[in-house]
Chains A and B, each alone.
Chain A
């Protein structure tokens, strides 16, 4: 499974966060969601995002998977990313 950012979404990477703008509303993603966003936006498969996130947060895959799935679910719900 892969996700990609929606067509009308723009973002930029800051020192410790990512700013995402969609439909004229901006939000700031802090660590570790910022790192997950970066991986998703690069087109990595979800399994790979989970694996890399586990390294980033220095935790096991179960924690990482929960974190990644929660983030993906929220972003899909907000229209920031789409499956496929």
Chain B
């Protein structure tokens, strides 16, 4: 919807329509709006209407700083047609004003809101999520993501050395969530070796959720370029053209990534039983590629005159 790291460029209504065409010819029934903050788009309400008119469900990724007009629009929609994936401002994150606004959104949208956390630190505390779900009557689902490194970028991300600590905390949380009737959904890049032995089975986490989920998820950027995923956005892009569907893009990106898939997140992956059994692909591809070495380019020495 809006170019990341840009305050100027929003997706045009024409490109948004072309993106909806792409979803339809790909047989995808859900339009996912990402940003930046997609609700800040000047034509947000019209874009929502055009997606719903085509019978698409909406999933909106938001940080919660939603303009009042956009919030009114979302509150007017039936619960079955729209879900908001709220990137929760956790207590202690220093974003109290965001947290206050998020609470207003919870109050207005209730069941339409799914709480999500993108974990950047091993010291993550998920305790408050269950309380929020209960207090505001939110969807009984929590989506957990790992902050992955962008290839060639300098974003904040969770270093793989902290995965085991995060896995321990998430497993603890998942037991409590199950007791509260709250399901856990995983975003991409989780790996089985993060979790204490036996907990994957005990909690019913599948390898499709944890281990095998690092594939092209396909984002259409505000400039009409399609990327495999945000962390790999600098790796390879293809323009959205009228004859290209999701299958075409997936095949294209997978072909480009075929050799890169040789690399894995950890040195230990080469002797890993999960990987040998085909239950794990070796973690986030972008993180894996950051392990790569290459010859440093020679820097010419200029003699002082």
Contacts and interface: CB of A to CB of B under 8 A. Distances in A.
Interface string B235-278: 00000000000000000000000111011100111110000000
A13 B288 CA distance: 11
A26 B271 CA distance: 17
Given A4-B295, A10-B293, A26 B267 contact: no
A19 B295 contact: no
Nearest to B298: A4
Contact of B292 (A6, A10, A16): A10
Contacts of A10: 292-294
A25 B261 CA distance: 11
A41 B294 CA distance: 9
Interface in A1-41: 4-7, 9-17, 19, 21, 24-26, 41
Contacts of B268: 14-15
A24 B258 CA distance: 8
Contact of A12 (B258, B263, B297): B263
A11 B259 contact: no
Contact of A24 (B259, B264, B292): B259
A4 B298 CA distance: 11
A21 B292 CA distance: 10
B271 A9 contact: no
A28 to B, nearest CB: 8
Contacts of A16: 270-271
A26 B262 contact: yes
Nearest to A27: B262
B291 interface: yes
A9 B270 contact: no
Nearest to A24: B259
Nearest to A20: B262
Nearest to A17: B270
A19 B293 contact: no
Nearest to B262: A26
A50 B104 CA distance: 69
A15 B262 contact: no
A11 B294 CA distance: 7
A13 B267 contact: yes
B295 to A, nearest CB: 5
B293 A21 contact: no
Contacts of B271: 15-16
B293 A11 contact: yes
A19 B294 CA distance: 12
Contacts of A6: 295
Contacts of B258: 24
Given A14-B267, A15-B267, A15-B268, A9 B295 contact: yes
A5 B293 CA distance: 10
B282 to A, nearest CB: 10
Nearest to B255: A24
Contacts of B260: 21
A14 B259 contact: no
Interface of A: 4-7, 9-17, 19, 21, 24-26, 41
Given A16-B271, A26-B262, 15 more contacts: A4-B295, A7-B294, A9-B294, A9-B295, A11-B292, A13-B267, A13-B293, A14-B267, A14-B269, A16-B270, A17-B270, A21-B262, A24-B259, A25-B259, A41-B295
The 5 A-B pairs at the shortest CB distance, nearest first, are namely A26-B262, A14-B270, A12-B291, A5-B295, A10-B292
11 contacts: A4-B295, A5-B295, A7-B295, A9-B295, A13-B267, A14-B267, A15-B271, A16-B270, A21-B259, A24-B259, A26-B259
